[in-house]
Chains A and B, each alone.
Chain A
């Protein structure tokens, strides 16, 4: 790896690891201390490596420096004698003997404990995501701001407020117990789902960043699966859903970053390994008696990995959307259900139902109507696509809609 990319890369992967371990050790009250110590270790690395060159094992070097800095800090700091020592998990009589455990297992345990801490409902979902990106994924403020299409200041404010909230609530960072899991897993999954969606559906043009968001969401979900207590059917369903979606990542955009619609995607670019992995997780999810929206969405996503339009495919998708709506209404599920209906019962039948949806502030409503009217009444189709174009903020969707209008106008010119 090039020296210029080594540090940012290490920062991305190791910052979160060491911060998690230190937070796990100190408690959420001292989260800034943990972050300062780790930042300080990275600062030392930047200074020393530029002069002396990169050590043979940069990761081990960082860990050693972070450990030493932590021990020195504890020694120097009266805080430790008075307060921290009472809270600290390890019964260390002397700070010198205190071991800061940066083993893989402890890193994984710490990260898991941090996931449950960060996904505490005392913070709003968008704050949880920002905090997760920052502390669990090692994203900087600017990257998070880019992902949310906002500015750095907003994100810093959001993150700091979220940390304060966690401190006020005095959330304990600990391994989730069986009781907690049943109460809290839902919030955790929701946050991970949103994190993935943020990457997958983001209108940000930065595909690298979006991929990073998706793979981070998948990494954190995998952590839950690797731990026996949290390896629940719903978690497997969520990971299955992520695998199926991520399998089409390469095929969804062209080199200009423009969206390529599902029916126009090059199937050879679909990642078969991810589809196979998704299938394994979906099978593992099919135990127990709880049917979550992740199960249903994973089922829908599975059928989308089968490109061929069979009756079985669309019948199954329609039925899954019906179940999804019965579980909880959402405009997007209502629109997608109607699209599936056009595949099973024909466009005319779907049009009758589509017009009853009346989602008149939703651009997808009008692009659905545009699609359904195409080749039935192209005048109306053009009108609906134009309405969608006015309503949408997504640059990618604008291009797609303009192409549709163009195509219909050309058809009209020919006839």
Chain B
């Protein structure tokens, strides 16, 4: 088993890309089901936590309010899961319901020091 970072990127900056309150509400349950399913399979490496969407962006000479958006998309949620390989981790990532609302999900494998 390897550990994979699954990072959900969403457009948090532009007004028109923000989901409506109804869409937000509608996405909660499927997201909760997806996370619930992963925890039930004991795939989550750490206890699940929600991350603040705004945060701070730190550079050498300035700290600004986030979210970081040099590109259009910023980091939304992130979880670390156990999976055999990239194929399996990607399968897990494909289940992320936020994809329906235009998110991009990034998968990265943790490298083991050999």
Contacts and interface: CB of A to CB of B under 8 A. Distances in A.
19 contacts: A318-B36, A319-B29, A322-B32, A322-B33, A323-B32, A323-B36, A325-B39, A326-B32, A326-B36, A326-B39, A329-B39, A329-B40, A329-B44, A334-B40, A337-B40, A353-B40, A353-B41, A356-B41, A357-B40
B16 to A, nearest CB: 31
Contacts of B36: 318, 321-323, 325-326, 337
Interface string B62-77: 0000000000000000
Given A326-B48, A353-B41, 7 more contacts: A321-B36, A322-B33, A325-B35, A326-B32, A334-B39, A353-B37, A358-B41
Interface string A330-367: 00011001100000000000000100111000000000
B47 interface: yes
Which of B29, B35, B41, B44 is packed against the most chain A CB atoms within 10 Å? B41
Interface in A156-186: none
Contacts of B42: 329, 334, 357
Contacts of A309: none
Interface string B20-53: 0000000001001101110111101001100000
A322 B47 CA distance: 13
A97 interface: no
A300 to B, nearest CB: 13
Given A318-B33, A319-B32, A322-B35, A328 B47 contact: yes
B8 to A, nearest CB: 16
Contacts of B44: 329
A233 B32 CA distance: 24
Mostly helix, strand, loop or mixed at chain B's interface? Answer: helix
A337 B32 CA distance: 12
Contacts of A319: 29, 32-33
Q: How large is the interface on B (under 10, 10 to 19, 20 to 34, 35 or more residues)?
A: 10 to 19
Mostly helix, strand, loop or mixed at chain A's interface? Answer: helix
Interface of B: 29, 32-33, 35-37, 39-42, 44, 47-48
Nearest to B49: A326
A360 to B, nearest CB: 12
Which of B29, B37, B40, B47 is packed against the most chain A CB atoms within 10 Å? B40
Contacts of B32: 319, 322-323, 326
Interface in A344-399: 353, 356-358
Interface pairs A-B: 8 shortest CB-CB: A322-B36, A334-B40, A325-B39, A322-B32, A326-B48, A356-B41, A325-B36, A337-B40
A39 to B, nearest CB: 47
A314 to B, nearest CB: 13
Contacts of A357: 40-42
Contacts of A328: 47
B97 to A, nearest CB: 13
Nearest to A328: B47
B48 to A, nearest CB: 5
B40 A338 contact: yes
A319 B47 CA distance: 18
B93 to A, nearest CB: 16
A107 to B, nearest CB: 41
A278 B88 CA distance: 44
A196 B33 CA distance: 30
A318 B37 CA distance: 11
A330 to B, nearest CB: 10
B94 to A, nearest CB: 14
B29 A325 contact: no
Interface in A284-342: 318-319, 321-323, 325-326, 328-329, 333-334, 337-338
